[in-house]
Amino acid sequence: MSTQSANPVEPSNFLRQIIDYDLAKGTYTNRVDPNGKPLPALVTRFPPEPNGYLHIGHAKSICLNYGLARDYDSLPSGGRCHMRLDDTNPTKEDVEYVDSILDAVRWLGFDWHHQGHEHLYYASDYFERLYEFAQILMRHGKAYVDSQNAEEIHQNRGNFSTPGVNSPYRDRSTEENIALFQKMRAGEFPDGSHVVRLKIDMTHPNIVMRDPVIYRIRHAHH
């Protein structure tokens, strides 16, 4: 006699458990987009950088993000996945890779259209907003312009057993930070002369969180 259940239970995992918990609490039920239109309770994204061809790991991410959005779209709260291309480094990216990525998503059986709307986005379309956000962070003391070179930043970041060291430029005034940032954008400095870093914690156990760089100077056409 078979021991299998006549009504097999839908497999779950920690992601679905988190999603189901938030849905039950109504955590994201009142969100709206910039036009005031209600957003689905679940919005996922696949955000590759178009600097090469996709591999099996990307396929897993595509199936996970689009699959979750598809499964939850059948519920009243809805779900959708955004196709977001992180095209912020023009020296390494190419339209050939963009086309290849989009073709791969379609080949796996997914699409970025939802209820008659296209959800294909390029990070480069939001450069102005990102520029504004960086200045907001500076005004709130959460970011600063660092004038150390790449080697100095690397050395002062420390390692897994040694805490990092604060940059000598970490406590620049808001006015100086914004003035330098505006000159960075205007192309007045050479590549590598300044960067913008988040002000987090140079002793953080996760090295990635030790004042990560969020803006660099690149004299390149996008």
What is the model's pLDDT at position 56? 97
pTM (2 d.p.): 0.80
Residue 222 has pLDDT above 90, yes or no: no
What secondary structure, in 3-state letters, does the chain show? CCCCCCCCCCCCCHHHHHHHHHHHHCCCCCCECCCCCECCCEEEEECCCCCCCCCHHHHHHHHHHHHHHHHHCCCCCCEEEEEEECCCCCCCCCHHHHHHHHHHHHHCCCCCEECCEECEEEHHHHHHHHHHHHHHHHHCCCEEEECCCHHHHHHHCCCCCCCCCCCCCCCCCHHHHHHHHHHHHCCCCCCCCCEEEECCCCCCCCHHHCCCEEECCCCCCC
Q: Going from the N-terminus, what domains does the chain have, and what CATH number goes with each?
A: 14-118 (3.40.50.620), 127-215 (3.90.800.10)
What is the model's pLDDT at position 123? 95
Percent of the chain with pLDDT over 70: 95
Average pLDDT over the chain reads 92
What is the model's pLDDT at position 48? 98
